[in-house]
Amino acid sequence: MVLRLNGLARLVGAAVVLLGAAGTTHAAGDPALGEKKFYTCYGCHGNENYRNAYPDYRVPKLRHQHAAYIVAALKEYKNGDRPHATMHAQAVSLSDQDMEDIAAYLQGPEPVKPTKTVGPVPPQATQCGACHGENGSGVEAPLDPKPPVLAGQHPDYLEQALTAYHNGRRKNVVMGGMSQLLKSDADVKAAAEFFARQPSPLATATTGSK
């Protein structure tokens, strides 16, 4: 993988470090095994617009999300850094290898990054680009922790995730800080809606989808 270092100077957040080239090759997940292990997950993540109840928001799209981020998110549900009873119950039953396999299956080949940005970037989203890309589809630099693709994600899910970082329910050093830039519910909504309408590799992980 070719490392593109331009733009790194703009990076903020002490917890974000540049990995050596070895760190960018993601640990060996087996996508074929991952597809089998994802069996119990289709019920929610494999249905277009399937909703979480109380509070009501759509479950996140996982197809073509970054593998390293999927693994990190599953570990956070497992250890409680992300509070969600169902996802905690799902994640505790997964070994590290299960997570790698599932993540390899969901990501597939390295996600294509659409370069187009739809509409002007609202002030609420200008400081997100260093890690998420101007249009939310990522940056070339291999960052750790791996920032997720935001482009094309469900806006109501993005809103609830940002609110959870903001009020400390999701415990993440980087996003705990970044979410404080959004001062009101209206700011959160503006950022979420901007990223949600961007061109995206993300899709619902329906059975048989690639």
The answer to whether residue 72 forms part of the interface with ligand HEC (CB under 6 A) is yes
Report in angstroms how near the CB of residue 21 gets to ligand HEC at its nearest: 20
Q: Out of 16, 141, 151, 196, which residue is the one contacting ligand HEC (CB under 6 A)?
A: 16
Which region, judged by CB under 6 A, interacts with ligand HEC, from 1-9, 17-25, 112-120, 130-138?
130-138
Let me know: does 123 contact 191? Beta carbons within 8 Å: no
Which region, judged by CB under 6 A, interacts with ligand HEC, from 1-9, 19-27, 109-117, 168-176?
168-176
CA distance 140 to 160: 27
Let me know: does 174 contact 46? Beta carbons within 8 Å: no
The answer to whether residue 107 forms part of the interface with ligand HEC (CB under 6 A) is no
The answer to whether residue 167 forms part of the interface with ligand HEC (CB under 6 A) is no
End-to-end Cα spacing for the chain: 23
CA distance 63 to 88: 20
> Residue 179 is which amino acid?
S
Report in angstroms how near the CB of residue 116 gets to ligand HEC at its nearest: 19
CA distance 70 to 15: 18
Report in angstroms how near the CB of residue 153 gets to ligand HEC at its nearest: 6
CA distance 91 to 170: 16
Report in angstroms how near the CB of residue 31 gets to ligand HEC at its nearest: 13
The answer to whether residue 52 forms part of the interface with ligand HEC (CB under 6 A) is yes
Which are the contacts of 120, defined by CB distance < 8 A and separation ≥ 6? none
CA distance 92 to 202: 25
Site residues, ligand HEC (CB under 6 A): 12-13, 16, 40-41, 43-45, 52, 59-60, 62, 70, 72-74, 76, 82, 84, 86-87, 90, 102, 125, 127-128, 130-132, 145, 147-148, 150, 153, 158, 160-162, 170, 172, 174-175, 178, 181-182, 191
